[in-house]
Chains A and B, each alone.
Chain A
Amino acid sequence: QVQLQESGPGLVKPSETLSLTCTVSGVSISTSSFYWGWIRQAPGKGLEWIGCSSYSGSTDYNPSLKIRVAISVDTSKNQFSLGLSSVTAADTAVYYCVRHNRFLEWFPDYWGQGTLVTVSS
């Protein structure tokens, strides 16, 4: 059974870097059939796509976040990570890690449970 699980600090100070890791189980991350991505949801708001990466490191990012975002993949640990620099209160959100599926027109099919990250001093 495919499962994704986010981990990382729940509180980040303004101007610092938010770092999250997603641990994948039930499927190898090292396949061209999937991309691995992040989506966030501010409290009471809608969904915002952050970006995604192939297992080989080919990335795509939301243009509105591109200068602050980095997504990397660690195939040895079957994990991938998100880095978001220079955070502000506007980055407070539930962050979901997701699997983009080639066989479903590349739409995310599996999602982690989500982790709330609050930006505050």
Chain B
Amino acid sequence: QSALTQPPSVSGSPGQSVTISCTGTSSDVGSYNRVSWYQQPPGTAPRLIIYEVKSRPSGVPDRFSGSRSGNTASLTISGLQAEDEADYYCSSYTTGSTLLYVFGTGTKVTVL
């Protein structure tokens, strides 16, 4: 099972919007609601910010939004803030012959 494909880096100025793509297959990203996103600031554990493609856990700002088209999911950060500078990973899973969670290759978001 290959990792999901993300761009290595994106950047934006404070207040701008940035979008990160995550490409998989019809068995994972394109299946049901099997997409989540994690934020990982340097030196810390990942934090769940989006699940079921577009839902936010309590406490996550509504500046973070998720969507999906076919086998590609996207995370958009609106009104970019300095504290948003981090690595972002998408995740999905397959339930074929065995359960398998897969993660994206990761995207570094830089706030200029």
- Using a CB–CB cutoff of 8 Å, the interface residues on chain A facing chain B are 39, 46-49, 52, 60-63, 96, 104-109, 111-114
Contact A107 B45 (CB under 8 A): no
Contact A107 B36 (CB under 8 A): yes
Contact B48 A49 (CB under 8 A): no
Contact B48 A114 (CB under 8 A): no
Set B45, B51, B99, B105: member contacting A105, Cβ < 8 A: B51
Contact A109 B57 (CB under 8 A): yes
A-B contact pairs, 16 of them (CB 8 A): A46-B106, A47-B91, A49-B100, A60-B98, A62-B100, A104-B36, A104-B52, A104-B57, A105-B34, A105-B52, A107-B48, A107-B51, A107-B91, A108-B48, A109-B48, A113-B45
Q: Enumerate the 9 nearest inter-chain pairs by beta-carbon distance, A residue then B residue, closest first.
A: A49-B101, A60-B99, A47-B103, A107-B36, A111-B45, A104-B51, A46-B106, A105-B52, A109-B48
Q: Collect the chain A residues with CB atoms within 8 Å of residue B46's CB.
A: 47, 96, 111
B95-111: CB near A (< 8 Å → 1, else 0) gives 00011111111100000
Check: B67 CB closer than 8 A to any chain A CB: no
Give how many B residues have a beta carbon under 8 Å from the other chain's beta carbons. 28
Q: CA of A54 to CA of B36 in the docked complex: distance in angstroms?
A: 21
Q: Collect the chain B residues with CB atoms within 8 Å of residue A108's CB.
A: 48
Check: B72 CB closer than 8 A to any chain A CB: no
Contact B98 A63 (CB under 8 A): yes
Q: CA of A111 to CA of B38 in the docked complex: distance in angstroms?
A: 11
Check: B33 CB closer than 8 A to any chain A CB: yes
Shortest distance between the CB of B59 and any CB in chain A (Å):
11
Q: CA of A9 to CA of B89 in the docked complex: distance in angstroms?
A: 28
Contact A114 B45 (CB under 8 A): yes
Q: CA of A49 to CA of B57 in the docked complex: distance in angstroms?
A: 21
- B 72-112 contacts with A by CB, 8 A: 89, 91, 93, 98-106
